[in-house]
Amino acid sequence: MDDKNVAEATAKTEEKSVQKAQKDEASSLNAKDTKAIEEMMEFGMFYGRSKSRTNPKMKPFIMANRSGFEVIDLEKTIFGIDRVVKAIKDIYEKGGEIVLVGTSPASKRKIREVGEATNTPYVNERWLGGTLTNFETISKRIKHLRKLKEQKASGGWEKYTKKEELSFKKELLKLEKLLGGIEHLNKIPQMVLIADIYQNEIPSREARQMGVDVAAIINTDSDPDKTDYIIPANDRSIQSVEYILDIIKEAIVEAKTKAPKQEAVEDIKKNG
């Protein structure tokens, strides 16, 4: 057997030992969590980054090291997801809002899908600096976006020259790309949920500056201290990210269904 075949055989053996360890851990959990861990294993959610790239602060979330990569403890992943789901429900119960963020290839499509399906503000292109820390200015840009859309829909551009109309169209496309996902964000949110914090440290930093909670899917190369609600998982895998975001989607739908209307929330605040 040549070196390549030996390496492949060793990798397969080690992967099986990882799966066995995760299954042994799952056997001590309830049936629901056991099934969840089995599904997470199928989606490769336990794959961390290489040992050389691992942030030392992520050690509490690592189960083992195999073939040079870290193995994420999926029991900690379940715990992290449960914490985020509870926090989301509490936020909507109090009339709050969250913003979803994901700009990586593994997350941007799903972030948009969840945002649009649940009518939740989202960013799946570039995060615009100052979205939270300079919210007043961003709000003015959002109002301008709405105005352009209204003018286009009502035929308000027809009185302008073709050159001016083309200019409006270009501006509208640019604003929709940058602000379209947060067009209906009317206040500072209570949470920013980030699917790829390694690529999106700016929204995390802005949120913490503004006292807004940060929830994030975190791989082993990220700093957990930048997050209030940690979901340790493989953030490079589409299946891994989509698995988590589907749970978040269900939580948002349930929370918004049960949440009191804004008028009732205001009355509670006044009388409380």
Q: Is residue 199 part of a domain?
A: no
pLDDT on residue 224? 95
CA-atom Rg of the chain in angstroms: 22
* Residue 106: half-sphere exposure toward Cβ, Cα within 13 Å: 22
pLDDT on residue 21? 54
Helices assigned H by DSSP within 155-272: 162-179, 201-209, 238-258, 262-271
Q: Which domain holds residue 52?
A: 3-72
The number of domains in the chain is: 2
Q: Is residue 253 part of a domain?
A: no
* 78-109 pLDDT tens trace: 999 999 999 999 999 999 999 999 999 999 99
Q: Which amino acid is at 160?
A: Y
pLDDT on residue 155? 87
> Which H/E stretch holds residue 48?
strand 47-50
Q: Is residue 114 part of a domain?
A: no
| Pair type for strands 98-101 and 191-194 | parallel
Q: Which residues contact 55 (CB under 8 A, 6 or more apart)?
A: 220, 221, 222, 223, 224
* 14-27 pLDDT tens trace: 555 555 555 555 45
DSSP state of 101: E
Q: Is residue 12 part of a domain?
A: yes
Low-confidence residues of the chain, pLDDT below 50? 3-4, 6-7, 9-11, 26, 263-272
Q: Is residue 256 part of a domain?
A: no
Decide which of 184, 210, 245 is a domain's last residue: 184
pLDDT on residue 14? 52
Decide which of 46, 72, 98 is a domain's last residue: 72
Structure pTM? 0.83
Decide which of 25, 52, 72 is a domain's last residue: 72
Long-range contacts of the stretch 22-30 (C-beta < 8 A, 24+) = 22/46, 22/63, 22/71, 22/74, 25/63, 25/73, 25/74, 25/75, 26/74, 26/75, 29/75, 29/78
Q: Is residue 45 part of a domain?
A: yes
What CATH number is associated with residue 158? 1.10.287
